Amino acid sequence: METVLTHSDISVIQLAVTAVVLPFVAFLLNLFIVPRQSKLSGVLSGLAIGASLALSVFVFFEVWNQPALHVQQIWFTVGSTQIRLGIWLNNLSVLMLLLVSAIALPVHVYSIAYMKGDNHYTRYFAYLSLFCFAMLALVVVDNLLLLYAFWEMVGFASYLLIGFWFTREKAIQANKKAFLMNRIGDVALLTGIMLVYTHYDTFDIVTLFGDHSLATAAATATATKSVTIAGLCFLAGAVAKSAQFPLHTWLPDAMEGPTSVSALIHAATMVAAGIFLLGRVYPLFNTEVLTVIAIVGCFTAFMAATIALTQTDLKRILAYSTISQLGYMMMAMGIGAYSSALFHLATHAFFKCLLFLAAGVIIHEMQHLKRKHRLHIDAQNINNMGGLRKIMPVTFITCCVAALALIGFPLTAGCLSKDGILIQGFAWAEGKGWAYSIIPIGAVLTSLLTAFYIGRLMFKVFFGESGLEGISADSEPEAHEENPLLYLPMILLALGSLFPLFSLNPLKFESAWIVKGFADMVNKTESSGELVPFLISALSVCVVLIAYGVYVRQKLQWLKFKGVLFNMSYNQWYIDTFYNGIIVRAVVGLSRAASWFDTYVIDGIVKLIAGTGLVLSRISAWIDRYIIDGIIHSITYFVKQAGNFIRGFQTGRVQGYLFTMLIIVLALYILKTFI
Amino acid sequence: MSMLSDFMFISAGLFCIGIYIVLSKRNAIQILIGIELMINAAILNLVAFGKYDDLANSGQVFALFAIVLAAAAVAVALAIILNVYRQYKTIDPAKVERLKD
Amino acid sequence: MNFYFTYILVALGLFGFAAVFALFGIYAERKVSAFIQDRLGPTETGKYGSLQTIADIIKLIQKELIVPSAADKILFVLAPFIIFVSVYMGFAALPWAPGLVPAKLNIGLFYIFAIVSVEALGILMAGWGSNNKYSLLGAMRSVAQIISYEIPAGFAIISVVMITQTLNLQDIATQQGVLSGESSRFLGFIDVGQAGGILAWNIFRAPHLIVAFAIYFIASLAESNRAPFDIPEAESELVSGFHTEYTGLGFAFVFLAEYSMMFLVSMLGVILFLGAWNTPLPNIGPAHLADYTTGTVWGIIWIVLKSLLLVGVQMWIRWTLPRFRVDQLMNLCWKVLTPLALLCMLISGVWRLWLM
Amino acid sequence: MNINQVLFYVMGFTALASALIVAASKNLVRSVFMFFVTLFALAGLYVFALADFVAVTQIVIYVGGVLVLMLFAFMLSNKETLNSLQNKTGNKFIAINNMAALLAAGLFLVILVNAIIKARPDGIVWIQHAQRVNPPRTDNLGNIGVNLMTNYLLPFEVISIILMMALIGAVHLSRKEEHKL
Amino acid sequence: MAKSGAIGLKTVFGGLFLTLKHLFASKKRRVMDSVKSDNYFTEQNRGTNTIQYPSQQLPVPEVGRYQLFVEMDDCIVCDLCAKICPVDCIDIEAIKATEAIGQTSDGTTKRLYAAKFDIDMAKCMYCGLCTVVCPTECITMTNQYDKSVQELDLLTYKFSEMDPALAEEKRRLFDEQQAEKQAAKLAAMKKKENGE
C-alpha cells in the first residue's frame, strides 16, 4: 500500500498528528507542571483542543472525498514479521477527527465554567485531555494493535472520569462496573484481533479493510467460520463500548461522573467508538454477522427506549436515550445503512451532547435551589423540577432544539439521519420475508417511544409547576444562566443540531454530505422513501401531544403508572438484578467452594505434614539433649578443669609479660656473649 | 663520614626510653606513647638504612608503611582505651582486672 | 655564610608581609563588615580610619600579659607562637613569581599541608593551657573541625596534583601559563599552551577542578576557622573560643596567625587552581598580552591581587552567612564534601589517563 | 664539622632529651606536647637521611593525627590525671617502684649499643658499595611513587585494607551505644 | 539531599548577592533629614546609615522634650513642679519675701524668692509633668539634647541666680519682719490683757 505522497499530503498528515498529540501535551502539562486548582489547566486543555479542532477542520477539508492518505513506518520486528504503524486518513477517520474535536471543544469550554471551584480542577482537565488524545488517536491509527491500545486508553480515561469524584461510593462502584463491563468487550475485541491476525497475518487496517483489501474479498467470497467468529468478537467489543444489550448497564451508572464528562464521553464520543470500530472493520462482516448486529441494535434501541419512559433521574433518562440511539446506529450498520449510521452518529453527537450540557445546567440550578432552601431532595429527579423555562430561557430553547432533533422533527439534523435509517431499514427488509420487517417496525416503535419519553422529560422539567412544594421557581429574582461559558457552548451545539450544517435540503437525507461521503452498502431505494418520514413525524407529533396531555394537562389518567410493564421498565428490565442475582451469586458461590476446598483439603494435608515433622523433631530433640549434649558437656568439664589449673600462670598484665620477655632477652644475650 | 651509626645510637636510645615508659607508667595513654616511641625508633633505623637504597627505596617505603600502621594502631588503641575508661572509669591497665561485669 | 643572611632577610620579609597584611586585612575586614551592614566602620583614626589597626596594635603591645593563675603557664605562653609559627612556616614554600620562591621544595605542597596541621596542636595547647572550659571547648571544636576538613581539602588538592603530576608548587605554577613550554589544554580539548592566560589555569584545565576548587575553598574557610565555620570561637556560646584568656601580644599573635592563615590558604588556592602568578591575559594572535604581563614584578602583582580577591571573598562570606551548627558542620564535611572530593579525585585519575 | 652535622647532632640531642622529658614528666599533657617535640626532631633527622617525604608524612600523621587523637582521648577520659595536674608532686624520675624498669631499659640500652658497635654498620658491604656506585639522591619522590605502585603494590594494598579495618574497628569500639564487654 | 543542596546553594548565593549589593551601595551616605520628611524611612534603606554625631546631627523638632529650662523671672516658687515630679529631681528652697517682689509676665504677683532651684537631669525621666502643672508656664522642655558632661554633678542644673549672701539677707529680713509681727502681736495681747 505504499503510495507516493506529495509534500502537501505529508504536511496534512503532520497536522493530523499534531492535532492528535496536542491534547496529550496538555495532559502532561496538567499532570506534572500546572499546580492544583490552577485556572490555567482549563484554558490549557481548551486551547489544546481548540487548536486540534482548527487543525482537524483543515485536515478534513484536505482529505474529505479525496483519496485516503496513509503513511507507515516499522514499529517492531518479531522474527520475520514486521509490525508497521502509521496514520490512515480516509473519510471515516477525518469525520471522526472533526466530530470528536468539534464536540470536545464546547464541552471543554462548558467544563471551565462547570468545574469551577472543584478541588481537583487540574486533574479533571488532565483526564479530559488524556481522553481526547486517546480518542483522536484511536480514529487515525492504522494498526489493529495500536487501535486496541488506544481503545483501552479510552476506556481507562473513561474509568478515571467516571470515578472522578472518588470520594463517592456510588462513583467508585460505577467506574468499576464500567471498567469490568468494558473489559468483557475488550477481551472479545482482542480475541477478534488475534483471529484476524491468524487468518490474514497482518494487523494493518489498510491492508485488511481498505480498498481492494483482504477482508473485502474474504467476506464476500469465502466466509470462513473464523472470520464470522472474528466479526462477532469485534461486535462484542463494540457492544461493550457502545453500551448495547446485554452489556449496556454500565452506561446509566456512569452518570455518576461530572455531567460534562457524560456529555463528552458517554453521549457523543466514546460510546461512538463502538460504532466507529464497526465502521472501520465493516468489510469483515458477512451477512450473518450483519444480521446479528441489526438484531442487537434494534433490540437495544427498543429496550432502552422503554426503560427511558419511566426513569425519574434526568441523567439516567438521557443515558438510556443514548443507549437507544446507539442501538439505532448499530442497527443501521447491521442493515447496511453504513452512511446513515455514521450520519446519525454525527448528528446524535451534537444534540445528545447538548442535552447533557443542558442537564448539567439544570442540575446545577436544582442544587442551587436545594442549597438555598435547605431541602433534602435529589437534584437530578425530574419529579422535583418543573416550570424551569421561565428562569432558564436559553437552556429551554436549546433543549427544545435538541429534543426535536432527537424526535426527528423536520428541519433538524436528527430528522435527516433518522429518516435515512428508517427508509433504508424498510428497503432492506423488503422482499426478505416477514421476520425481517420486525426490525424496521421496531425502529419505528422506538422512534415513537423516543418522542414520548423526551416529551415527558421536557414537559416535566420545563413546563408546569415546580415539583418542590411551596417554591415557585419564577419567584426567584436573581439572574440565572449567568455564566456565558455555560450557555455559549449550548447555543453552538444547538446550531449544530439544525439541518444546515449537514444538508441544504432539510427533507432529503441523501443530499447530506456525510451520506454522500460514504459508499453505501445498500442499494438505493425509492419505494415509500418519501412517505415514511412524514408518517413518522406526524406520529411523533401525536405522541408528543399525548405526553403533553399526560404531564402538563394532567389528563388521560387512565395511563397507569403501575403494573407489570411499568415495573419492568422502571427496574430497567431487571437486567442489573439479573446480573447481580445470577452471575455475581454464581461467582461468589464458586469462590466459596474454592475457599472451602482450600481451608479443609489443602490446609489439612499441609497440617498433616507439619504434624509429622513436629513429632520427628521432638524425637531428634531428645537425642540431641541427652546424648549429644552429654558428650559435649563431659568434654567441656575436662577442659574447664584443665583451664582452672593453668589459669594461675596468667596475670593479664602486659607490662609484666614485657618485663619477663625483656629479662629473657637480656639473659639470652648475656649467655650468648659471655659464656 | 657516615652518620649511620649515629642514627642507630639515637634510635637505640629512643627505643630504650620507650621501653622504660612502657614498663614504668601506670597510664594507658603514656604506655601508648612509649610504644609509639619504640616504633619511631624502628622507623628511624629504616630510614637511615634506606638512604643507601636508591633503586628500590625499600627503607622509605617501609617507613611509610610503619607510620601508617602506627597511626592505625593508635586509633584502635585509643578506641579501646576510651571504651575501657567508660567501663572501669580508669585507664590504668593494672586496675583493669575484672573481665566481666 | 652569606646565604644564611639571605635566609634571615627572606624570613623577616615574609614576617613583615604577614604583619602588614594582617594590619590591612583587619582594617579591610572592619570596613567590609561595616559596609555590608550599612555602617561606616572606623573613621576617626587617620584618614578614613586607616590608622585604626595600628592604634589597636599599639594598644595591644602596651597591655599587660596576663597569665591566669590556674593556667598551665608554659603551654599558655607558647601556644600563640606555635600557632603563628606553623602558619608562618607555611609561607616558606609559596612561589611569588617565576623563579622567586623562598624555599625550593620538591614536596612544597605536602610540606605546607603538613606544617599547617601543626596549628591544631597549638590551638589545643592554648585551649588546655588556659584551663578554662570555654577555651577547652573551643579548642576541641576547632581541632575537630580542622582535622575533619583537612580530608576534603586534601582530596581536592590531590585531584590537582594528579593532573599536574608534581608536588612542587613552583612547577604547578609554571604549568598554568605561557612559561610551561608544553601543551596545556583548556577543558582537555583546546590547546592553550602557547596562548596561556586565564584558560590555562588549572581550574579550566579540567572541569571537575572547578568543583575541587569549591571544595578546597570551603574547607579552607573551615581550616582557618572563618565564618560560617567559626563555631570554635562562636561568640554567642564560647566567649571567643580558645583565645578567650589571651591578652596583649599573645592575642595579637593569635590574630596575626588567623589573618596569615587566611592569606596562606587563599594564596595556596590561587597557586593550585587560579594560575598562581600567571597573568589572566592570553596571547591573542599578534598581541602577546601574556608575554607582556609575565615577569617577576608582574608575577608578584598578579598573585597578590588574586589572593587578595580570595581573601575578599572570605570576608564577604563571613559577613553574609550565619554560623553552622556542629552537626551541620560535620554533615557537610563527611556527607557532602568528602564524597564529592573523592569523586573529583577519581575523575582526575580518569582524566589523566584518558584525556591528557 | 660543617653546619649540617651540627644541625644533625642538635636534632638528635633534641629527640633524645625530649623523649627523656616525656618519660620523666608527671604532667601528662606536657609530656604529650613534649612528645610532639620528639616527633618533630625525628622528622628533622629523617630529612638528614634524605627522606623528606617520610619526614613530612611523619608530621602530617603523627603531629596532625596521632598526637591530636591522644590529646582528645586524654581530655575525654583522664579525670584522675586532670586532678593530679592541680597538685603536682615532685618530679620523681628515679623512684623505687620504677627501679626495675629503669634497670631493664638501661641494660637493654647497653646491649643495643654494644651490638651496634660490634656490628660496625658503616662497614657493611652493600652500604659501602651503594655509596661508591650511586651516591644517595635527594629527589627520590617519583621513585618512591613508582616503587609503591610496582614493587610494593601488594604491601601497599594490604596496608590500605588494614588501615580501613583499623578505622572501622576504632569507630565501632568508640561508639556511644551500650555493648557488652 | 540534592534538593536541600540546591536550596542551600540558592540561598547562599542569594545572601551573598544581597550583601554585595549593600557593599557597593555603601558609597551613598544617609541624608540628614528630619523625621518629618517624607522619605525619612526610605532614606535609611539606601547606603550607609551611620550618623557621625558630633559633625552630623539629625534635625530635632523645635518642640523636642529634652532639656528642662526654667525662666526664673516668671517663677513664683510655688513648688508644684517639685511635688509632682515622680523621681524627685527638682529641689526648691523658697524664701518668703517681706513684700510683693514683682510680677511675672502673665501678671501673677511674686511673693517668694527661690534660694535654690536645682534640677538633677541625671534623674529626670522626661515625663513632662512639671511643665504641665506649672501655673505660670515658666518651666519648659527644650530641644537641647546633647548634655555630655565630664562629671555627674554638672548634670545638676542650678537656675536660681540668688547668691547665698543675698539669700541670707532676705531670710534675715523675713525673720526680722516675723519677729516684729510677733512682737507687735505680743504687745497687742499684753495690751488686751492689761486692758481687761
User: For chain D, what are the domain ranges?
Assistant: 1-85
Q: With contacts defined as CB-CB under 8 Å, which chain D residues touch B82? A: 73, 76-77, 173-174
The predicted structure's pLDDT at residue D96: 60
The predicted structure's pLDDT at residue A621: 92
Kindly report the number of other CB atoms within 10 A of residue D86's CB atom: 8
| Set of cell numbers at residue C25 | 586585612
Least trusted range by pLDDT, from A174-183, A461-470, D13-22, D142-151: A461-470
Query: Does any CB of chain D come closer than 8 Å to the CB of residue B65?
Result: yes
Whether E77 and E11 share a structural domain: no
Of C75, C144, C147, the CB nearest to D33: C75
pLDDT average, residue stretch C234-249: 80
The predicted structure's pLDDT at residue A610: 93
What are the start-end ranges of the H helices in E61-196? 80-84, 129-133, 164-195
Question: Which has more confidence, D93 or A671?
Answer: A671
B73 vs chain D: nearest CA distance in angstroms?
7
Q: Which domain holds residue E88?
A: 67-164
Q: Do A662 and B22 touch (CB under 8 A)?
A: no
Whether C20 and C89 share a structural domain: no
pLDDT average, residue stretch D86-102: 59
Question: Which has more confidence, A493 or A631?
Answer: A631
Tens digit of each residue's pLDDT (9 = 90 or more) over E1-35: 678 878 888 888 888 888 888 888 777 777 777 77
Tens digit of each residue's pLDDT (9 = 90 or more) over A554-581: 655 555 555 666 777 777 777 777 777 7
Query: Does any CB of chain B come closer than 8 Å to the CB of residue A658?
Result: yes
Query: Are the beta carbons of A161 and A131 closer than 8 angstroms?
Result: yes
Whether E19 and E100 share a structural domain: no
B22 vs chain A: nearest CA distance in angstroms?
7
The predicted structure's pLDDT at residue A615: 93
Question: Which has more confidence, B79 or A535?
Answer: B79
Q: Using CA atoms, how far apart are residues A365 and A386, in angstroms rounded to an integer?
A: 12
The predicted structure's pLDDT at residue D87: 45
Question: Which has more confidence, A242 or E184?
Answer: E184
Query: Are the beta carbons of C315 and C28 closer than 8 angstroms?
Result: yes
Confidence of residue A145 (pLDDT cuts 50, 70, 90): confident
pLDDT average, residue stretch B52-59: 78
Closest CA to C116 of D72, D56, D30, D32: D56
Residue A201 one-letter amino acid: D
Q: State the average pLDDT for chain E.
A: 83
Q: Using CA atoms, how far apart are residues A439 and A421, in angstroms rounded to an integer?
A: 11
Q: Using CA atoms, how far apart are residues C74 and E55, in angstroms rounded to an integer?
A: 49
pLDDT average, residue stretch A79-98: 78
Whether E18 and E71 share a structural domain: no
Whether E90 is in a domain gets the answer yes
Q: Do D76 and B54 touch (CB under 8 A)?
A: no
What is the pairing mode between strands E139-142 and E102-103? unpaired
Name the percent of chain C lying above pLDDT 70: 96
Q: Using CA atoms, how far apart are residues A529 and A421, in angstroms rounded to an integer?
A: 11
Whether E31 is in a domain gets the answer yes
pLDDT average, residue stretch A44-62: 82
Whether C248 and C325 share a structural domain: yes
Query: Does any CB of chain C come closer than 8 Å to the CB of residue E48?
Result: yes
Name the percent of chain C lying above pLDDT 90: 2
CATH number among 3.40.1800.10, 3.30.420.40, 2.60.40.740, 1.20.120.1200, domain D1-85: 1.20.120.1200
Q: Using CA atoms, how far apart are residues D132 and D154, in angstroms rounded to an integer?
A: 31
Whether E77 and E16 share a structural domain: no
Q: With contacts defined as CB-CB under 8 Å, which chain E residues touch C32? A: 23
Whether E38 and E100 share a structural domain: no
Of C105, C115, C125, the CB nearest to D33: C125
Tens digit of each residue's pLDDT (9 = 90 or more) over C268-312: 999 888 888 888 877 777 777 777 777 788 888 888 898 999 998
Tens digit of each residue's pLDDT (9 = 90 or more) over D1-18: 677 788 888 888 988 999
C319 vs chain D: nearest CA distance in angstroms?
30
Q: Please give the backbone phi and psi of residue A204, each rounded to the nearest 5 degrees, phi first.
A: -75, 120
Sheet containing strand E90-96, strands side by side: E90-96, E112-120, E156-158
Whether C15 and C38 share a structural domain: yes
Q: Do D71 and C124 touch (CB under 8 A)?
A: yes
The predicted structure's pLDDT at residue A82: 74
Q: Do A659 and D101 touch (CB under 8 A)?
A: yes
Query: Does any CB of chain D come closer than 8 Å to the CB of residue B13?
Result: yes
Query: Does any CB of chain B come closer than 8 Å to the CB of residue D60?
Result: no
Q: Using CA atoms, how far apart are residues A186 and E82, in angstroms rounded to an integer?
A: 103
Q: Please give the backbone phi and psi of residue A331, each rounded to the nearest 5 degrees, phi first.
A: -60, -40
Whether C112 and C254 share a structural domain: yes
The predicted structure's pLDDT at residue D91: 47
* Domains within chain B, CATH numbers bracketed: 4-90 (1.10.287.3510)
Residue E171 one-letter amino acid: R
DSSP reduced 3-state for C186 = strand
Q: Using CA atoms, how far apart are residues A672 and D112, in angstroms rounded to an integer?
A: 14
The predicted structure's pLDDT at residue D169: 86
Instruction: Give the neighbours of chain A: at least 3 Cβ pairs within 8 Å.
Output: B, D
Confidence of residue A505 (pLDDT cuts 50, 70, 90): low
Q: Do B75 and D48 touch (CB under 8 A)?
A: no
Instruction: Look at residue C190 and tell me whether its pLDDT is greater than 90.
Output: no
Whether E113 is in a domain gets the answer yes
Name the percent of chain E lying above pLDDT 90: 0
Question: Which has more confidence, A263 or A469?
Answer: A263
Least trusted range by pLDDT, from A39-43, A375-379, C116-120, D61-65: A375-379
Of B19, B22, B97, the CB nearest to A652: B97
Q: Using CA atoms, how far apart are residues E175 and E88, in angstroms rounded to an integer?
A: 29
The predicted structure's pLDDT at residue D89: 47
Instruction: Look at residue A388 and tell me whether its pLDDT is greater than 80.
Output: no
- Range among A93-97, A614-618, D119-123 with highest mean pLDDT value: A614-618
Q: Please give the backbone phi and psi of residue A73, each rounded to the nearest 5 degrees, phi first.
A: -145, 165
Instruction: Give the neighbours of chain D: at least 3 Cβ pairs within 8 Å.
Output: A, B, C
Q: Using CA atoms, how far apart are residues E107 and D45, in angstroms rounded to an integer?
A: 103
B53 vs chain A: nearest CA distance in angstroms?
30
Give the total number of structural domains in chain C: 2
Residues 6+ apart with CB under 8 A from A223: A286, A287, A288
Residue of D nearest to A664 (CA): D104
- The contact set of D with C (CB < 8 A) is 27, 29-30, 33, 36, 52-53, 56-57, 59-60, 63-65, 67-68, 71-72, 75, 85, 138-139, 141
Closest CA to C237 of C133, C356, C147: C133
Q: State the average pLDDT for chain A.
A: 77
Closest CA to A86 of A98, A100, A101, A74: A74
The predicted structure's pLDDT at residue C174: 83
Instruction: Look at residue A587 and tell me whether its pLDDT is greater than 80.
Output: yes
Kindly report the number of other CB atoms within 10 A of residue A590's CB atom: 10
First-residue to last-residue Cα distance in chain A: 113
Least trusted range by pLDDT, from A634-638, C345-349, E165-169: E165-169
| Set of cell numbers at residue E191 | 495690751
Name the percent of chain D lying above pLDDT 70: 81
The predicted structure's pLDDT at residue A660: 81
Least trusted range by pLDDT, from A524-538, C8-22, C334-348: A524-538
Tens digit of each residue's pLDDT (9 = 90 or more) over E104-160: 888 888 888 888 888 888 888 888 888 888 888 888 888 888 878 888 888 888 888
| Set of cell numbers at residue A333 | 450498520
Whether C139 and C189 share a structural domain: yes
The predicted structure's pLDDT at residue A638: 92
pLDDT average, residue stretch A481-498: 74
Q: DSSP class of residue C50?
A: T
Q: Using CA atoms, how far apart are residues A116 and A37, in angstroms rounded to an integer?
A: 9
D99 vs chain A: nearest CA distance in angstroms?
12
Query: Does any CB of chain B come closer than 8 Å to the CB of residue D168?
Result: no
The predicted structure's pLDDT at residue A479: 44
Q: Each residue of D48-82: b (16+ CB within 10 Å) or e?
A: bbbbbbbbbbbbbbbbbbbbbbbbbbbbebbeebe
Q: State the average pLDDT for chain B.
A: 82
D82 vs chain A: nearest CA distance in angstroms?
24
Residue of A nearest to D118 (CA): A673
Whether C171 and C77 share a structural domain: yes
pLDDT average, residue stretch A328-345: 81
Residues 6+ apart with CB under 8 A from C122: C79, C80, C81, C82, C83, C84, C86
Query: Are the beta carbons of C126 and C76 closer than 8 angstroms?
Result: yes
Instruction: Look at residue D93 and tell me whether its pLDDT is greater than 70.
Output: no
Q: Using CA atoms, how far apart are residues A257 and A240, in angstroms rounded to an integer?
A: 18
C192 vs chain E: nearest CA distance in angstroms?
31
Whether C298 and C198 share a structural domain: yes
Q: Which domain holds residue C324?
A: 63-354
